[in-house]
A and B are shown apart, each in its own frame.
Chain A
Amino acid sequence: MRPGPGSTLMTYLLLAGMAALFIAPLLMMFLGSLKADHRVLLESGSLTAFLPRELSLQNYSDVFRRSEFPRFFFNSLFITSCIVVCGLVVNSLAAYAFARLQWRGRDLLFNLVLALMILPFEAIAVPLFYGASILGLRDTYAVQILPFIANAFAIYLFYSFFIGMPRELEEAARIDGASTLRIFFSIIAPNAKPVFASVAILTFLTWWGSYLWPTMVTIGPTVRPLPVAIASFYTLPPLQWGDILAFGVMMVAPVVLLFVIFQRWFVAGVASSALKG
């Protein structure tokens, strides 16, 4: 039965309300970043915060003048990219080994990896910190990259996708003369683009905004990523809300851009993994 016009209208109103609720903070941040500092505070308690009046890029210029934004941006980009790229290789290969290869202890190890998914990072942060200190890795890029390359959830997403792929493709390639690694890189990976995209985006989102671990292991500004840098910037006198919002916009922009570009693959990858899982 088709819903009546009243019901459709209600549904659209509800959806529009929900969308507004999610977009409002981002919009407020974006407009605030283009307004003079005193106006940001003045308008923050009313709907005038959403009115685009007397806009300028002064706050953005201030951010570059008052902080080492390009360095922090590079740090975040470098750290996150390394985690994403290395993670895609390591986790997909691990998942393939779990999904397709026959080896002793495979199922036990896979269950242990799955069990890691329920372990919150906070539970292992302190022992990991001790380990990094003993190895002399504090305040380096390596300490912010290496512990996060292998990821149980990424392995699970890859595994769910690979297990659903037709086995005959690999068997045909094996008979055609391909080795296991060749099969992976020539047959499996090109046919698993959606799951590679969704794992890349999920990993990027997770580590782009990571705050706890970089706070623990970074000391100076040299290898500091954006989330820690914005926290330091916030405490930098004088307190300039417009500058902080401009910093926030520049920090969030790559994430939004990435999602907009890869949205189709992201949704397809997560949906197929969830269905098969």
Chain B
Amino acid sequence: MAAIEFNNLTKRYDSGIHGIHRLNLKVGDGELMVLVGPSGCGKSTLLRMTAGLEEVSSGEIRIDDRVVNHIPPQQRNVAMVFQNYALYPHMTVRGNLAFPLRMQKQPAMLIEERVRRIAEILDLTPLLDRRPKALSGGQRQRVAMGRAIIRKADIFLMDEPLSNLDARLRVEIRGEIARLQRQLAITTLYVTHDQAEAMTLGQRVAVIDRGLLQQVGSPQEIYERPANAFVARFIGSPGMNLIQSSLYRENGGIQLQLGPRRLPIPQRVLTDFPGLATHSEESVLVGIRPHAIHLSDTDSNETLPARVCTTEAMGHETIVHLDTALAIDNSHQARGDQTHLLVQLTGHHNFSAGEQLAIRIGIDDLCFFDSDGEAIR
């Protein structure tokens, strides 16, 4: 087991593009840290640099206080699970599991014993003499895990290991990975672009975008108090609604302009977000989770009119796309194509396109971001 530390880590390609830019992050001994971000954000590059498969442009990587920038992969004592598993096609499951130990020149008896034990743990015993092409996706995934575990490495690196599996198997193996990680208490860096996977698996989650670390924290912290508009939009399914708005100082308090309505911000909210006072008379982004928007039976000063565009029935919930007088901000997401306010309702709801609704936004459920997208706290 070991702790990992990235200090001002930068990866710059020959083209001048930054894969990772001045990243600072500490992963504790035995911790499972999930790196999450959209495709091409640099999370896999970070993992590959940790493994020693990519050169570091500047900064340093420390594994247990030892700078490993120039140490070859085979001497870092890390194990990696690849997205496509990278099982050796010409070897049987037994051969794949034994390969890392054979490279360590371990005695044949010990190799045989360890292979047997790992096969038992991962339920691979009946498959030991099969080649990878004769295995299902889930079985291949387990062999890849076994090959990583068998070495008793200091660090596990997992590069989107579930992305080739179907949804049911993904949930099943996600639980298995979490169980194994807890059981072995091995420091793990886990890369995924699936924020649901990040939230369910990670003890802490690091959100990365365009090579920059956006936020590190527990899944709950990142969900409830996103550091910026990107994180707010990226984490959550669907992501947070961001509404362009303004703050006004009026009658000794601060009021929020939400479309046609001007709503007073209660003192308790101002206590939670003291920064709001310094942003009065400014444009801000207001964030609200889709599940925190409620339908109202009656029109009042606290409701907003909305028109149904489309609905997505998910079985246990319904996601409704609404046209409102609110100005939706779509500049802080990977794909800037959201123009509707999204509302997430529990249970099944039948709405026809064009139907008029009244919605109520609870002021206690809001997050606030300045014009640069940084959280106001």
Known: A166-B84, A171-B53. A178 touches B90 (CB 8 A): no
B104 contacts chain A at the CB level, 8 A cutoff? yes
- Complex: A187 Cα to B91 Cα, angstroms: 9
Stretch at the interface among B72-80, B213-221, B250-258, B335-343: B72-80
Interface size on B, residues (CB 8 A): 22
Question: B84: shortest Cβ distance to chain A, in Å?
Answer: 6
Known: A176-B100, A177-B104. A171 touches B86 (CB 8 A): yes
Whether the Cβ atoms of B89 and A175 lie closer than 8 Å is no
Question: A97: shortest Cβ distance to chain B, in Å?
Answer: 18
Name the residue of chain B whose CB is nearest to the CB of A190. B90
Question: B149: shortest Cβ distance to chain A, in Å?
Answer: 12
Whether the Cβ atoms of A175 and B78 lie closer than 8 Å is yes
- Looking at chain B's contact residues, the main secondary structure is loop
- Complex: A176 Cα to B78 Cα, angstroms: 8
**Out of B73, B83, B90, which one reaches A175, CB within 8 Å?**
B73
B99 contacts chain A at the CB level, 8 A cutoff? yes
Whether the Cβ atoms of A174 and B74 lie closer than 8 Å is yes
Q: Report the tally of A-B residue pairs with Cβ distances under 8 A.
A: 54
Residues in B neighbouring A166, C-beta threshold 8 A: 84, 86
Residues in A neighbouring B86, C-beta threshold 8 A: 166, 168-169, 171-172
Whether the Cβ atoms of A191 and B89 lie closer than 8 Å is yes
Chain A stretch 147-190: residues in CB contact (< 8 A) with chain B: 166, 168-169, 171-179, 182, 186-187, 190
Interface size on A, residues (CB 8 A): 17
Question: B310: shortest Cβ distance to chain A, in Å?
Answer: 40
* Residue of A176, A179, A186, A190 with highest tally of chain B CB at under 10 A: A176
**Out of A168, A171, A173, A191, which one reaches B99, CB within 8 Å?**
A173
Question: B26: shortest Cβ distance to chain A, in Å?
Answer: 23
- Complex: A172 Cα to B99 Cα, angstroms: 10
Whether the Cβ atoms of B103 and A168 lie closer than 8 Å is no
Question: B377: shortest Cβ distance to chain A, in Å?
Answer: 41
B49 contacts chain A at the CB level, 8 A cutoff? no
Residues in B neighbouring A171, C-beta threshold 8 A: 51, 53, 73, 80, 82, 86
**Out of A169, A178, A190, A191, which one reaches B103, CB within 8 Å?**
A178
Whether the Cβ atoms of A187 and B73 lie closer than 8 Å is no
Chain B stretch 11-48: residues in CB contact (< 8 A) with chain A: none
Name the residue of chain B whose CB is nearest to the CB of A192. B90
Whether the Cβ atoms of A176 and B53 lie closer than 8 Å is no
Question: B212: shortest Cβ distance to chain A, in Å?
Answer: 26
- Complex: A246 Cα to B311 Cα, angstroms: 84
- Complex: A169 Cα to B144 Cα, angstroms: 12
- Complex: A182 Cα to B99 Cα, angstroms: 11
Question: A190: shortest Cβ distance to chain B, in Å?
Answer: 4
Whether the Cβ atoms of A191 and B90 lie closer than 8 Å is yes
Residues in A neighbouring B78, C-beta threshold 8 A: 175
- Complex: A95 Cα to B138 Cα, angstroms: 35
B193 contacts chain A at the CB level, 8 A cutoff? no
Whether the Cβ atoms of A177 and B74 lie closer than 8 Å is yes
Whether the Cβ atoms of A169 and B53 lie closer than 8 Å is no
B204 contacts chain A at the CB level, 8 A cutoff? no
- Complex: A175 Cα to B99 Cα, angstroms: 11
Name the residue of chain B whose CB is nearest to the CB of A187. B88
Whether the Cβ atoms of A175 and B84 lie closer than 8 Å is no
Name the residue of chain B whose CB is nearest to the CB of A174. B73
Q: Please list 19 pairs of residues, one from A and one from B, whose beta carbons are closer than 8 Å in the complex, sorted by A's number.
A: A166-B86, A168-B86, A169-B86, A171-B53, A171-B80, A172-B88, A174-B53, A174-B72, A174-B73, A175-B52, A175-B74, A175-B78, A176-B74, A176-B151, A177-B103, A178-B103, A179-B74, A191-B88, A191-B89
Besides A171-B51, A177-B100, 9 other CB < 8 A contacts?
Answer: A171-B53, A171-B86, A173-B88, A175-B78, A175-B80, A176-B100, A176-B103, A178-B103, A186-B99
